[in-house]
Amino acid sequence: MDLRDFQNLIRTMYYEKDVARGVSGTYMWLAEELGELASDLRQVEQLRQADPADENSKTKLAKVESNLKTEFADVIAWLATIANIVDVDLSEALAAKYGEGCPGCGNLVCDCPDAEKP
């Protein structure tokens, strides 16, 4: 599934509820999901540094890595939801900003100084 198909799927499933909730309420859901993603990312980093022989850490890492996929999906879904509410086509927005390369330096592989945000 590409991004446009996904955004349309989210629109079909939830648009009426999303519009009723509005941008502010929906943004709170996005923020919550970002927090859950951050928590899982932190755990993955910590568990990947654990002793490879520690079976408990390996089991926990597998569980958190599996959940990480769900959290990424949730973040993208809520972002698509907000885009739908304000009528922004994410595929068009991404192509316009990143389709020709880095928006900072214009290169396909970013060559911006590390201290700059492209």
The listed CATH number (1.20.140, 1.10.287, 2.60.40, 1.10.3470) that belongs to domain 3-87: 1.10.287
> pTM of whole model > 0.75?
yes
Half-sphere exposure of 35 (CA within 13 A, CB side): 6
pLDDT confidence band for 116 (50 / 70 / 90): confident
pLDDT confidence band for 55 (50 / 70 / 90): confident
Percent of the chain with pLDDT over 90: 84
Question: Which residue ranges make up each domain of the chain?
Answer: 3-87
pLDDT on residue 50: 82
pLDDT confidence band for 29 (50 / 70 / 90): very high
